[in-house]
Amino acid sequence: FITNTRRKNLAISFSILSLLAISVILIFVSAQRAQLLARRQIEFVSSVSHEFRTPLAVIYSAGENLADGVTKEYSQVSRYGNLIKGEGKKLSKMVEQILDFAGANSGKKKYDLREVKVSEIIENALAECQPLIDEKSFKVETEIAENLPEIMADKNALMQAVQNLIANSIKYSNGEKFLKISARNGGNKVKIIIEDRGIGIAKSDLKHIFEPFFRAKAVVDEQIHGNGLGLSLVKQTVEAHGGKIAVESQIGKGSRFTIHLPFII
C-alpha cells in the first residue's frame, strides 16, 4: 500500500513538474515572440520615418522656393507644383496603408462585397500602376482567360492588393524589367497570378514574408525602402474574401504570387 502511494505521489509530482516545465517553455517562447515583434515594430517606425522624410524634404524645398519667389517662370512653377503633387501622393499612399493595417487588425475594416469581374480588377490595378510602369520602363504581359466566372469582392480592396503585388515586382526588379499578370479558372477558384524576374526571395524568408513588419535582411542590406506592411495587407485582404495566397520564388530568378479566390456558383 505504501509503495503504491509513493508511486502515485511520484507520478503526481512528475506531472506537476512537467506542467511547470511546459509553462516555462511557453512563457519563454511568448517572450521571444514579443521581443521579435517589438524589434520589428521599432524597425517599422524607423523605416516609416525615413520614408516620410524624403517626400517631406522635397515638398518643403519646392514650397519654400515658390514662397520665396525664386522663380516665376511658368515651366519651373509647374515643375515645382508637380513635384509637390507627386510627393504628396506618395505620402498619402503610405498613410492609407498604415490606416488599412490598423483597421484590419482592429477588426473594424468593412468590405463592400459585390459581384465583380476579375478582368476589371486587374485592368484597374494596372491603370493605377501605369505611371510607375512607364517610369521604370517595364514590359508587362497579361493573359486573362475568357469567360471567367465573377467573384464576390470589394473591388477597391482587391484592386489595392493586386496593385501592391505589381508595385513589389517593380520595386524588387533585378535588371529584368518584366512582369506578367494572368488570370484563369482553377477548379472551383479563380487564380490571379503575378510573376516577375526580380531579385527573388530566400527560402528561409518565404515563411515570414506575410508577417507584419517583416523585411528580408537582403532587402534591408540593399537599402530598398519599404515598411513591411504591404504583403501582410495583401494576405489579410485575400483571406477576408475567402481566398488564399501562395508564393514561389528563387533568389536571382524572380517570384510568383498566386491569389486563389472562390467564384460565384
In a domain, 2, yes or no: no
Q: Give the pLDDT confidence score for residue 107 in this predicted structure.
A: 67
Q: What is the pLDDT of residue 62?
A: 78
Q: Which of 150, 130, 128 is nearest to 140 (CA)?
A: 130
pLDDT at 34: 66
Helix (H, G, I), strand (E, B) or coil at 123: helix
Locus of grid cell 501622393? 89
Instruction: Return the amino acid letter for 128.
Output: E
Backbone angles phi, psi at 247, to 5 degrees: -140, 140
Residues 53-69: tens digit of each pLDDT: 677 777 778 788 788 88
Could you tell me the CATH number of the domain that includes residue 26?
Answer: 1.10.287.130
| Boundary (domain end) residue, out of 83, 106, 129 | 106
CATH code of 257's domain: 3.30.565.10
Q: Which residues are registered as beta bridge partners of 179?
A: 140, 196
Same domain, yes or no: 163 and 205 = yes
Question: In a 10 Å sphere around its CB, with 0-12 CB exposed, 13-18 middle and 19+ buried, how is residue 5 labelled?
Answer: exposed
Residue 9, pLDDT > 70, answer no
155 and 75 housed in the same domain: no
Q: 211 and 190: one domain?
A: yes
Beta pairing class for 178-186 and 244-250? unpaired
| Predicted confidence band of residue 92 (pLDDT cuts 50, 70, 90) | confident
pTM assigned to the model: 0.69
